[in-house]
Amino acid sequence: MNAAEGTPPQRLRTLPSRLINGAALAANRIVDQALAQAGVRRYHYSLLAALEEYGPASQAALGRRTGIDRSDMVATVNDLAERQLLKRAPDLEDRRRNIITITAAGRSQLTHLDRLLAAAQDEFLAPLPPADRRHLIDLLTRVVDHHGGKRH
């Protein structure tokens, strides 16, 4: 196989949507590997981050805030509760639902995960100097915000 056989056509190499998808695939792989070091997945991080930033909430509210589907939310809450990283308590206003709260152990784990993700971001953005990184983040934020993306 010669070099040209492994190279996509120019019109594909310059499509922004294709480039963003390729970057996303690399970023997801790097982030997943970083989180795996701590035995967690992205949903775990998203849920802990939302609880730390916004405080206690129902599973439904957390699902809306993080974009985690209801069935995945139940499994994620169960997993984090087993690890004592969050706790569930009946909602005093509506006993049919639970209020989820991050624990001290959950905050400590979140701090550890933040460090792992910071290193993953550095690995992902390694070819870019700091000014380019900030500019890329600004541009991607504008594109995502424009298209209504508030995903985890």
| pLDDT one-digit tens code per residue, 42-58 | 999 999 999 999 999 99
Average pLDDT of the segment spanning 147-151: 71
Walk me through the domains of the chain, giving residue ranges and CATH numbers.
40-146 (1.10.10.10)
The HSE-up count of residue 111 (CA atoms within 13 Å, CB side) is: 6
Give DSSP secondary structure letters for 28-77.
Answer: HHHHHHHHHTTT--HHHHHHHHHHHHH-SEEHHHHHHHHT--HHHHHHHH
CB 47 within 8 A of CB 62: yes
| pTM for this entry | 0.86
* 52-106 residue pLDDT tens: 999 999 999 999 999 999 899 999 999 999 999 999 999 888 888 899 999 999 9
Average pLDDT (129-142) is 96
Nearest to 68 by CA among 94, 41, 31: 41
Q: What pLDDT was estimated at residue 3? A: 59
How high is the mean pLDDT of the chain?
A: 93
Does the pLDDT value for residue 33 go beyond 90?
A: yes
The whole-number pLDDT of residue 5 equals 81
The helix or strand, by DSSP H or E, that contains position 102, with its residue range, turns out to be strand 98-102
